[in-house]
Structure 1
Amino acid sequence: MIRTVLPVEAEAVAGLMTRARSTYYPDGVPDADADWPARWRQAIERPDGQVLCAVRDARLTGIASFRTPRGAPAETVKLFQFHVDPDHWRAGVGTALHAACLEQWRADGKRTAVLEVHAGNHRAQAFYARQGWVRDPETPSGDDLHLNLRLSVTGE
């Protein structure tokens, strides 16, 4: 099941994010000492954004956070966070969650989606490529740690 995350689930979301990010940050997750539950609670409660989750057996198995970034055209959405619990990789969770994001973006009138992916996260890059994401020629990465990707929400 895919649904909107509830503020009370911020701690579970933070734990899932940390488990997922730990797989591609070999030297430790950046900002590991940050108050991630509070940050997620803010993201969940933002009136201009949305956080979706995948749930299996009453447990969060995937999360996706998105909104129109400040200064971007209204028809653009940015996928800020997209994580699947490593215990549920290759089980269709990411594909279902991504499909739900696309459905929501289309309903919201979005035409283009953008994201940054960690350059060392080859698993995520392959997943995004299977979903139709491509390198963003208009926005080259500003550092060596991330790649900018773009997706036509309308399929054009």
Structure 2
Amino acid sequence: MSTTHAEQAGSSCTAEPASSVVAPVTGERGRKDPERSCGRARSGSRAVHDPLTTGAALAVADRRRNHGPTRRVPHLMIRTATPADLDAIVQLHTEARSTYYRGHIPEEEYAGAAEVGRSRGGWSRAIDRPDTTVFCAERDGALAGIAAYAVRDGVMHLTQLHVSPSHWRRGIGTELHSACVDAWRQAGVDSARLEVFVHNTRAQSFYADRGWAPDPGHPRTGAHLVLRLMVS
């Protein structure tokens, strides 16, 4: 998946940011694959020490429970994604990516039929993988945001975090981010990484407001900035 987009509205969050946030594996010309980005690890990262975070165990724990209603955003439910969510997830992902890729790469590379099909395949695999967690933020019965993370080679990666443009600035990105970080803390994860498109300044602000900082060893990869969060 990819990372980094924040709720739109002001920064990646300070005022709830813009639409997406995510840490990913970069494809051609800045594209990110939902499933491949989950699998990208980087050298120089701090290892995750708790055995619960080595792959499937953390994801299995998340699949066994839904986070339930949130306290700060009325009528918002954070839950684990299922195959039945796939169509809505792909649509939201495509809409969110359009807000920060438009004007920077050709439209067919983020919203064309072939790219949407590739994205769908990536999300389908991510939902099914036992070592990947995909969260849905549902408000009044409609999908409002998505997030995904996975451990690869002992390193936690936030691979996706997107909010529907129609739900920007309502705290949904913050709630999704908090759900991810809470799960990491419970599992003993000490640090996490993500990548954000260099032109997605809203997402960059969102992450900065939540403690993410440039990775000192690998601050950039292609068209994406690499950020790190100290969790513990």
Fold shared per TM-score above 0.5: yes
- Tell me if the contact between 1:64 and 1:83 (Cα under 8 Å) persists in the aligned partners: yes
TM score, norm. by length of structure 1 = 0.90
1:10 aligns with 2:86: yes
Q: Cα deviation per residue 1:16-75 (whole Å; 9 max; x = unaligned)?
A: 000000001123263542322232111011111100111101011111111012x3x2xx
Q: Distance in 1 between matches of 2:210 and 2:199?
A: 19
Matched residue, 2:228: 150
Provide the residue aligned with 1:21 in structure 2.
Answer: 97
Asked if structure 2 preserves the Cα contact closer than 8 Å seen for 1:53 and 1:64, the reply is yes
Deviation at 1:142, TM superposition (A): 2.6
CA–CA distance in 2 between the matches of 1:4 and 1:101? 11
Q: Aligned letter for 1:134?
A: A
Residue 148 of structure 2 contacts residue 159 of structure 2 at CA under 8 Å; is this kept in 1? yes
Q: How far apart, in 2, do the equivalents of 1:79 and 1:43 lie?
A: 13
Q: Distance in 1 between matches of 2:205 and 2:219?
A: 19
Query: Which residue of structure 1 lines up, in the alignment, with residue 180 of structure 2?
Result: 101
Aligned residue in 1 for 2:129: 46
Bigger strand fraction: 1
Establish whether residue 65 from structure 1 lines up as the match of residue 148 from structure 2: yes
What does residue 91 of structure 1 align with? 170
Query: Residues of 1 paired with 2:159 and 2:107: CA distance?
Result: 20
Correspondence 1:67-82 to 2 at 5 A: 67-69=150-152, 71=153, 73=154, 76-82=155-161
What stretches of structure 2 of length at least 5 have no aligned partner?
1-76
For 1:28, the aligned partner's letter is E
Asked if the contact 2:219/2:227 (under 8 Å) is kept, the reply is no
Structure 1 gaps, min length 5: none
- d(CA) in 1 for partners of 2:137 and 2:220? 29
CA distance in 2, matches of 1:92, 1:151: 20
Distance, in Å, in 2 between the alignment partners of 1:22 and 1:88 is 15
Q: Which residue of 1 aligns with 2:139?
A: 56
- Partners of 2:162 and 2:138 lie apart in 1 by 13
Q: SS at the partner of 1:23? A: helix
Higher RCO (CA < 8 A, seq sep 6+): 2
Of 29-38 and 114-123, the range deviating more from structure 2:
29-38
Whole-Å separation in 1 of the counterparts to 2:148 and 2:108: 18
Q: How far apart in 2 are the matches of 1:134 and 1:52?
A: 23
Residue pair 1:51, 1:63 contacting (<8 A) in 2 also: yes
Q: Indicate the residue corresponding to 2:37 in structure 1.
A: none
Deviates more, 1:123-132 or 1:31-40: 31-40
- Cα deviation for residue 83 of structure 1 reads 0.4
Between the two proteins, the alignment pairs up a number of residues equal to 149
